[in-house]
Amino acid sequence: MSAVKKDFGASALILQPGIIAGAPPGEIRPPGPPGMTPVAVEAVAKAAVAGALGQKSGVVDGNDAIAAAANAL
């Protein structure tokens, strides 16, 4: 995380999901930790694009925060 901040400064967006839902059809992945709801891969992608376009910066930590950031755009 410090390398990203060093190279990109305040404009950087760092996403830290716990577990991402949306495996390709037919792919079996192990379940996440008990009680953790996965964040949709579309929400992660939407938040990442917002960061690439300069609409969002900082650290977005956790599935709920990523989903909220994606919904706010």
Average pLDDT over residues 1-6: 84
pLDDT, greater one: 73 or 37:
37
At 2, the pLDDT band (50, 70, 90 cuts) reads confident
What's the predicted TM-score (pTM) here? 0.80
pLDDT tens profile 11-54: 899 999 988 888 778 777 777 778 888 899 999 999 999 999 98
Identify whether 60 is part of a domain. Answer: yes
Identify whether 61 is part of a domain. Answer: yes
pLDDT, greater one: 27 or 65:
65
Identify whether 24 is part of a domain. Answer: no
Output the DSSP codes for the chain: -HHHHHHHGGG-EEEE-S-EE-PPTT------STTPPPEEHHHHHHHHHHHHTTS--EEEESHHHHHHHHHH-
Identify whether 26 is part of a domain. Answer: no
Range of the domain at 62: 11-18+36-73
Question: How high is the pLDDT of residue 38?
Answer: 87
